[in-house]
Amino acid sequence: MTLENERLCVEISEMGAEAVRIWDKKNQTDVLWEADPLYWKRHSPVLFPNVGKTYRNTVLIGGEHYPTSQHGFARDSKFRCIRSDQDTATFLLASTEETKEVYPFEFELLITYKLEKNSLLVKWEVKNPADETMYFTIGGHPAFRFAGKEETKEDYLLRFPGKDSLTYVLIDPKEAAVNPEVKYELSLKDECCPLNEEMFARDALIFDGGQIGEVWLCHKDGAPYVKMECPGFPNFGIWSVKDAPFVCLEPWMGRADNIGFDGEISEKPGINKLDGGEVFTKTYTITVE
């Protein structure tokens, strides 16, 4: 599926309802990572029904343990395009007997992409068609490639408007879960921090507490490249791979489990809850400068 206007051309795959290309016509640049498996085989996956990993790869629902995979099954599921025109498309994934083996809730997940000038709006809708309450987390994972073929992380910086510092947590590599007790400070100078390889030496930086509603990926001279807007999102991840020419800016509604969490899914910190018949809606925007 291809969406196009005067400024951008966006390609979306039915597999995972994943945006796989954002072509900037003005600057003749591919903005999304091309999924070279040398570094990372994805472009911009949708994370559902869990962001990150659950503790020990299981989730407790109604007293029964269900196996989980990192970032959930939606990114590896085929969606169906149910609406489209030149600049908008909506994709649907609904629960099946197969999904209920690992996630026992009925659901409908709709992903809508809409072009507006030099921006791509991404809207998630989660519908609960059943009577029982359902629980989930959901997130975005777009990887933005560097514009120049020879550019590296050192050629870019991140700008966080209105911020002078941010606090983040990390995933404990032994537990494969977040240690919320140990917090780190990301110091900023003039709202900015430079990108470098050392920044991701311990995997993703995870920002809780709704700290990031807007972030810019900029060239090292401060010139803006890509803006991510995600107002009202409680969690945010920033991640890359060693020597990879991209950075992921990830708006999340919920995140990976804390170390030792073994309670019911309804007790998970940051879990999203939908009663029967309710609809959850959230939108983020990517703007290409």
Dist. CA 251–CA 122, nearest whole Å: 11
For 250-280, write each residue's pLDDT tens digit.
999 999 999 999 999 999 999 999 999 999 9
Domain ranges of the chain: 2-288
Query: Nearest-CA neighbor of 174 among 62, 55, 42?
Result: 55
Read off the pLDDT band of 285 (50, 70, 90). Answer: very high
For 183-240, write each residue's pLDDT tens digit.
999 999 999 999 999 999 999 999 999 999 999 999 999 999 999 999 999 999 999 9
Given a contact cutoff of 8 angstroms between Cβ atoms, the answer to whether 42 and 18 are in contact is: yes
pLDDT of residue 143: 98
Task: Report how far apart, in Å, the C-alpha atoms of 145 and of each of 7, 35, 67, 246 are.
Answer: 18, 10, 33, 4
pLDDT of residue 213: 98
pLDDT of residue 172: 95
Please, which residues have CB within 8 angstroms of residue 189's CB and are 6 or more apart in sequence?
A: none
For 90-104, write each residue's pLDDT tens digit.
999 999 999 999 999
pLDDT of residue 247: 98
The fraction of the chain above a pLDDT of 70, given in percent, is 100
- The overall pTM is greater than 0.75: yes
Q: Is the dihedral of CA 237, 238, 241, 246 positive or negative?
A: positive
Q: Classify domain 2-288 by CATH architecture.
A: Distorted Sandwich (2.70)
Q: Is the dihedral of CA 18, 141, 263, 267 positive or negative?
A: negative
- Mean of pLDDT over the chain: 97
Given a contact cutoff of 8 angstroms between Cβ atoms, the answer to whether 282 and 210 are in contact is: no
